[in-house]
C-alpha cells in the first residue's frame, strides 16, 4: 500500500449518564454536553447531504436498513421536543479538525484524519480531554459532578455503542479480497484490542452476569457482512461512503472494535489492521477461512485463557493467537524494513503475542482486557466475590470513566503503569491543531482562521459564505496525498484573508 493511502481515524461514541437523575434523557444530555464545548449560540455548519448509509461496497444500494425504523421512531419522539433536528445534533467542527456532535443518544467524537499512529493516539486522547472538559463545564452549570462519561461500548442493559476505526483503501482492490482477508483477522484482533467485559449480553435478551471476556462488542456481532450499524451488526461493515474521490478510493468503516483506554492497544489495533491492508494490496495475505466467523468471534471473546480453537473450511482448527501469528508472519516477510512505523508495529505485534502466551502480567497497562482483568481479579479475591457480583460490573464501568478523578484506567496510568505512546505536550497540541500532513489539519486551520466565514462543512469540502452572490468552496476530495495537502496548507498560510486563498472555487 502506498504511504499516501495511510489515512485512518476513529469515531468514538461515549456512554453518558447523570447520577442525580433516575431517568436520564440521553438525547438531551448528549446535546447539552456538546453545547457545553462552545461559548455563545450554536450555529449549524455540518452538511449532511454527502452522507449515504444505504450504499453498499458490494456494488448495490439497500432499499432500507433495520435502523431506519428506529430513526423513524426517533423522529416521532423528537417532534415532541422544542428543538430542531440540527439543534439536537449540535454538530461542531473543532479547531483541530475533529467533529464533535450528538449521535442521538451518545456524544460522539471523530478524530481528524491521521497518517501516523502517534498522531492518531494523540488525537484519540485529545478527544477524551475535550469531552471531559465539556462535562466539567456542564457540571459547573448543574452545580454538581452529575454528568459522567465512559469510553466503553455497553451499558450492561443490552445496548451497545461503537468505536469505529476507518481506513482509506484503494478502490482497485476488489471488495471480495478485503472480505476474505479481513474477517479472520478481525475475529481474532480482540486478543490485542479487546477492552474486556464482565458477563454476556445480547440486544434482544439483555445482560447476563458472570465470567469475563475479551471484547465488549463481540456479543453484538450478528452477521459476517452487512451495511447496518445499529442492528444486525457485522464483523465487516459494507457501507460505501468513501469521503473522497469515489472512483479512486474506498473507506473501510469497521464497527467491530472496542474503545480502548490503553494507548498501546489503540496503536496496535490500528497499526496491525493497516499492515493487513498492506498485505491485501500486495495480494499476500494469509488464507484463513473460518467456518462460522460470528460463532468464532464470540467463542474467542469468552475465553480469556486463549485456549479456544475454531474450525476452518480447510485445515486444522485454529486459536485466535494462531490466526494473529499467521498474519504477523506474512507481514514480517512482506513488509519488514518498509519504514520505521511498520517495523515498530511488527516488533510490538510479535512481542505482545509472545507475552500473551508466556507472561501476560507484563501486558498490564499495555492491553485493556489484560489490565482490567488484573484489576478485577485482584479486587474479587480481596473481597471474596463471585464474577456475577454487581460490584464488579460497577468497577468494569469505572475502568472507562474519562474523569481523571474516577477513571480506574486513568488511575493506573497516573501511577506510571500505563505504557505511553505520546506525551502530554502531544495531547495538548492535538486538542488545538490537526495533523500537519492530512486534510484534517486543513479543516482545523480553516476553523481557527476563517471560522466565522464557514457556511457548511463535509469531510470532502468546506463551503464559505458567498462573495458577490457566489459560494466559495475549498475542495478536499482529492487532498489525500501529502503533496496535495502541503500545497493547500501553504496557500492558507500565505493568505491574509479568505479572498487571498487562490484554491477556492466559486459557483
**β-pairing, 234-237 with 223-226?**
parallel
Task: Report the DSSP beta bridge partners of residue 163.
Answer: 12
Q: Can you read off the three cell numbers belonging to residue 50? A: 454527502
Question: CB under 8 Å to 56, separation ≥6 — which residues?
Answer: 62, 227, 238, 239, 240
Contact 234, 303 (CB under 8 A): no
Say which of 91, 103, 119, 258 is annotated catalytic. 103
For 239-258, the DSSP string reads B---SS-TTTEEEEEE--PP
Is 103 catalytic? The answer is: yes
Q: Can you read off the three cell numbers belonging to residue 495? A: 493568505
Question: CB under 8 Å to 497, separation ≥6 — which residues?
Answer: none
Contact 338, 332 (CB under 8 A): no
Closest listed residue to residue 16, CA positions, set 403, 444, 384, 289: 403
Cα-Cα-Cα-Cα torsion 67, 70, 75, 78, nearest 10 degrees, comes to -130
Contact 174, 349 (CB under 8 A): no
Residue carrying the nine cell digits 469468552: 302
Residue carrying the nine cell digits 488545538: 432
Taking CA atoms, 136 is separated from 40, 129, 276, 345, 424, in Å, by 17, 10, 40, 36, 20
Closest listed residue to residue 327, CA positions, set 449, 423, 208, 183: 183
Q: What letter would DSSP give residue 139?
A: H
Q: Which helix (H) or strand (E) holds 277?
A: helix 263-281
Q: Can you read off the three cell numbers belonging to residue 222? A: 450478528
Q: Can you read off the three cell numbers belonging to residue 229? A: 450499524
What's the gap between Cα 329 and its chain centre? 26
Four-residue CA torsion sign, 315, 321, 325, 327: positive
C-alpha angle 268-271-273 in degrees, rounded to nearest 5: 105
- What is the C-alpha to C-alpha distance for residues 96 and 192, in angstroms, rounded to an integer? 29
Q: Can you read off the three cell numbers belonging to residue 70? A: 428506529
Q: How far apart are the first and last CA of the chain?
A: 36
Four-residue CA torsion sign, 238, 434, 278, 288: negative
Enumerate the active-site residues. Answer: 103
Amino acid at each position: 500500500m502506498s504511504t499516501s493511502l495511510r489515512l485512518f481515524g476513529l469515531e468514538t461514541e461515549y456512554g453518558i449518564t447523570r447520577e442525580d437523575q433516575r431517568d436520564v434523557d440521553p438525547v438531551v444530555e448528549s446535546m447539552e454536553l456538546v453545547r457545553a464545548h462552545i461559548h455563545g449560540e450554536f450555529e449549524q455548519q455540518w452538511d449532511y447531504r454527502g452522507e449515504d448509509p444505504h450504499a453498499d461496497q458490494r456494488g448495490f444500494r439497500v432499499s432500507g436498513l433495520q435502523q431506519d425504523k428506529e430513526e423513524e421512531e426517533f423522529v416521532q419522539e423528537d417532534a415532541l421536543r422544542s428543538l430542531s433536528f440540527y439543534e439536537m445534533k449540535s454538530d461542531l467542527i473543532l479547531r483541530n479538525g475533529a467533529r464533535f456532535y450528538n449521535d442521538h443518544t451518545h456524544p460522539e467524537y471523530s478524530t481528524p484524519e491521521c497518517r501516523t499512529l502517534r498522531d492518531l493516539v494523540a488525537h484519540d486522547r485529545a478527544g477524551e480531554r475535550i469531552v471531559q472538559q465539556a462535562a466539567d463545564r456542564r457540571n459547573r452549570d448543574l452545580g454538581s459532578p452529575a454528568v459522567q462519561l465512559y469510553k466503553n461500548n455497553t451499558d450492561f442493559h443490552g445496548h451497545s455503542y461503537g468505536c469505529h476505526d476507518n481506513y482509506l483503501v484503494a478502490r482497485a482492490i476488489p471488495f471480495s479480497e478485503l472480505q476474505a482477508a479481513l474477517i479472520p483477522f478481525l475475529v481474532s484482533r480482540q486478543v490485542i484490542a479487546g477492552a474486556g467485559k464482565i458477563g454476556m449480553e445480547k440486544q434482544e435478551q439483555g445482560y447476563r452476569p458472570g465470567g469475563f471476556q475479551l471484547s465488549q462488542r463481540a456479543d453484538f456481532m450478528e452477521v459476517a457482512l452487512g451495511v447496518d450499524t445499529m442492528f444486525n451488526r457485522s464483523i465487516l461493515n459494507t457501507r460505501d461512503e468513501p469521503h473522497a474521490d469515489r472512483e479512486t478510493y474506498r473507506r473501510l468503516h469497521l464497527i467491530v472494535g472496542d474503545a480502548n483506554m490503553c494507548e498501546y492497544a489503540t496503536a496496535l489495533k490500528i497499526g496491525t489492521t493497516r499492515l493487513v491492508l498492506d498485505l491485501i494490496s500486495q495480494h499476500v495475505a494469509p488464507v484463513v477461512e473460518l467456518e462460522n466467523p460470528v460463532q468464532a468471534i464470540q467463542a474467542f471473546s469468552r475465553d480469556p485463557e486463549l485456549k479456544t480453537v475454531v474450525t476452518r473450511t480447510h485445515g486444522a482448527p485454529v486459536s485466535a493467537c494462531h490466526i494473529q501469528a499467521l498474519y504477523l508472519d506474512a507481514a514480517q516477510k512482506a513488509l519488514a524494513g518498509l519504514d520505521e512505523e511498520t517495523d515498530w508495529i511488527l516488533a510490538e505485534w510479535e512481542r505482545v503475542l509472545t507475552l500473551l502466551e508466556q507472561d501476560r502480567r507484563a501486558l498490564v497497562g499495555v492491553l485493556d482486557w489484560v489490565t482490567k482483568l488484573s484489576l478485577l481479579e485482584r479486587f474479587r479475591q480481596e473481597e471474596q466475590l463471585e464474577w456475577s457480583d454487581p460490584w464488579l460490573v460497577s468497577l468494569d464501568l469505572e475502568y472507562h470513566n474519562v474523569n481523571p478523578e474516577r477513571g480506574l484506567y486513568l488511575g493506573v496510568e497516573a501511577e506510571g503503569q500505563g505504557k505511553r505512546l505520546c506525551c502530554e505536550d502531544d495531547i495538548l497540541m492535538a486538542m488545538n491543531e490537526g495533523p500537519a500532513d492530512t486534510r484534517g489539519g486543513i479543516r482545523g486551520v480553516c476553523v481557527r482562521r476563517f471560522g466565522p466565514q464557514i457556511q457548511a462543512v463535509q469531510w470532502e469540502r468546506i463551503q464559505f459564505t458567498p462573495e458577490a452572490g457566489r459560494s466559495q468552496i475549498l475542495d478536499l476530495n482529492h487532498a489525500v496525498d501529502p503533496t496535495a495537502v502541503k500545497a493547500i496548507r501553504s496557500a492558507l498560510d500565505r493568505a491574509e484573508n479568505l479572498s487571498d486563498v487562490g484554491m477556492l472555487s466559486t459557483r
